[in-house]
Amino acid sequence: MTGAAENGSAERVPSIVVLDYGSGNIHSAAKALEAVGADVTVTSDRRAAMDADGLVVPGVGAFKAVIDQLRSVRGGEIIDRRLAGGRPVLGICVGMQVLFAHGVEHGHDAEGLGEWPGTIERLKAPVLPHMGWNTVNAPADSVLFDGVRDERFYFVHSFGAQQWELEASGPFAAAKLTWADYGGPFLAAVENGPLTATQFHPEKSGQAGMRLLRNWVQSLPVHAA
């Protein structure tokens, strides 16, 4: 799949791998990414996942089930090695949650990937799951939310990250944090160098979600084929 720049020169389309590790919602994410101009492959192949310009890790269901499925295809190792090389990764829903150190569901503490410190816990709202549209509070310098800071996004979850524990140090810039509220504040999205994640489903969030995915795709450094 190729595109053309306005001056007529060839311009390579960003390549995206949607990591197929047995979780649901894989193909809807892939279709949304294709619709915003990416060349998308759905696979668990390690080499393809390492070589792509961007890696997307969707996830639905329970934290422990998702982390177990992810580890079965060495997904944690793929994510870690990509990030070590500064290559972008986008986590969606439980694909965001498993990036944290721990997830506590029904009293069981499951170990996450540990890319960020902190624990995923049950939201404090009286009615769960948090299902439907909600506004978010994105920072002014967010790349992800450029043009959609005042829009609503679609959430389906009962657990989330309710605090941010990673402190910026040395040459590393502070993460850009986007918050939402449902019974109390929780993280709706994080932009942390090459690692980006959303608690909501951009692929189910209408035109606002499509714009957000386009923002991410267009931010990717495209490597030579």
Neighbouring residues of 32: CB distance < 8 A, sequence distance ≥ 6: 202, 203, 209, 210, 213
Catalytic residue check, 157? no
Catalytic residue check, 11? no
Catalytic annotation, pick one of 130, 151, 157, 201: 201
DSSP string, the chain: -EEE-TTS-EEEPPEEEEE-SS-S-HHHHHHHHHHTT-EEEEE--HHHHHHSSEEEE---S-HHHHHHHHHHTTHHHHHHHHHHTT--EEEETHHHHTTEEEEEETTEEEE---SEEEEEEE---SS-SEEEEEE-B--TT-STTTTTTT-EEEEEESEEE-S--PPP-TTPPPPEEEEEESSSEEEEEEEETTEEEESS-GGGSHHHHHHHHHHHHHHSPPPP-
Catalytic annotation, pick one of 102, 108, 203, 223: 203
Catalytic annotation, pick one of 11, 93, 115, 157: 93
Catalytic residue check, 203? yes
> Catalytic amino acids?
93, 201, 203
